A = this chain, B = another copy of it.
């Protein structure tokens, strides 16, 4: 029987009754439903196969994938669904495709929001915020209406922090702390660059935080980072490198990749999404933490409330997280954090019409899109 259902023209012989009866006789975990938007794109093309293989949620966790696309991409969605079917993943119990978020998000426990419009030629950041903001406002409303009451939402489509804020504001019945903006690829790249500079294997680098916006104002934090348990600043003595080149290397990595590769970093982005999910569903190793763009209200650092800001998080592995209190913030770090905060507050004013907070006022600084991103 086909796993795939969705639009009428693509309904094959999937029978969910037959499947769920079968499931009841198994000792496996209860099926979880995972929505992925932008499902026909390159990042999803990597991610969906990871979700289906058991790499993300484990070898005893059956999954149902709900693929959200656009009218334009529906044929491609059918194609990717067929490839998933041909892959015979034993854990993949159901594939739905659709273009209506109110259908696709029904009862989902995870919503991985990857789809976003790329910036066209001559388009200002304000225009991009508006166009994508409308998509995320609609998706927030749909999640609020039909998703699991404890759905975890991970926003990848850019500008992801403000998109996540818009989505959250349109989903008042879902806990605000369930919304994440992906900064894990930045964290991974930062760890890689510190390892390269120190001449150690990257598993020796820990406690790396990305603070702020997923943009060129982001702050990769070397002050709290450690290598082999020692402060990075004791291992890498080149302060100028840490203060200037390090941040630049992290931010320009995507641009270098586009130049060399001719493609955006779809594969490593999808790996970082897996890392981000796994960080929420497995206990954080003792003493370590991970970065995620999360809601600032109640944060212990003094960062402005009511925005989505990447900070240091720890999880018990229950899908939830808490902010890490014992981090050092010196003047250098704080000044940078404040710049990213100012940018996010400006972005927020620019999308006030989408968050239900009045009339939008756009006074954005220059272009802060990371190079190499759509």
Asked if B86 and A192 make an inter-chain contact with CB atoms under 8 angstroms apart, the answer reads: yes
Inter-chain contact A82/B46, CB cutoff 8 Å = no
A45 at interface by CB-CB < 8 Å: yes
For the complex, is A76 an interface residue (Cβ under 8 Å from B)? Answer: yes
Bound Cα distance A80, B203 (Å): 20
The chain A residues found within 8 Å of chain B, CB to CB, are 1-2, 12-13, 15, 18-19, 22, 45-46, 49, 53, 55, 75-76, 78-80, 82-90, 185, 188-189, 191-192, 195-196, 198-203, 253, 256-257, 260-263, 265, 267-268, 271-272, 275
- Evaluate whether A265 and B78 lie within 8 angstroms (CB atoms) in the complex, with A196-B13, A199-B18, A201-B22 already known: no
Given A46-B46, A46-B49, A75-B260, the answer on whether A86 and B1 have CB atoms closer than 8 Å is: no
Closest CB in chain B relative to A354 CB, distance in Å: 32
Question: Contacts of A86 on B, CB cut-off 8 Å?
Answer: 185, 188-189, 192, 253, 265, 268, 271
**What are 27 A-B residue pairs whose CB atoms fall within 8 Å in the complex?**
A1-B200, A2-B196, A15-B199, A19-B201, A22-B201, A46-B46, A46-B267, A49-B267, A55-B55, A76-B262, A78-B260, A79-B257, A80-B261, A80-B267, A82-B256, A82-B257, A82-B260, A83-B257, A83-B265, A86-B192, A86-B253, A87-B267, A87-B271, A88-B192, A88-B202, A88-B275, A89-B271
- CB-CB under 8 A from A267, the residues of chain B are 45-46, 49, 80, 83, 87
A46-B267, A49-B267 are known contacts; what are 12 more A-B pairs with Cβ within 8 Å?
A: A1-B196, A12-B196, A13-B196, A19-B201, A45-B267, A46-B46, A53-B271, A75-B261, A80-B261, A82-B253, A82-B261, A86-B192
How far is A2 from B192 in the complex, measured between Cα atoms in Å? Answer: 8
Q: Is B1 in contact with A195, judged by CB distance below 8 angstroms?
A: yes
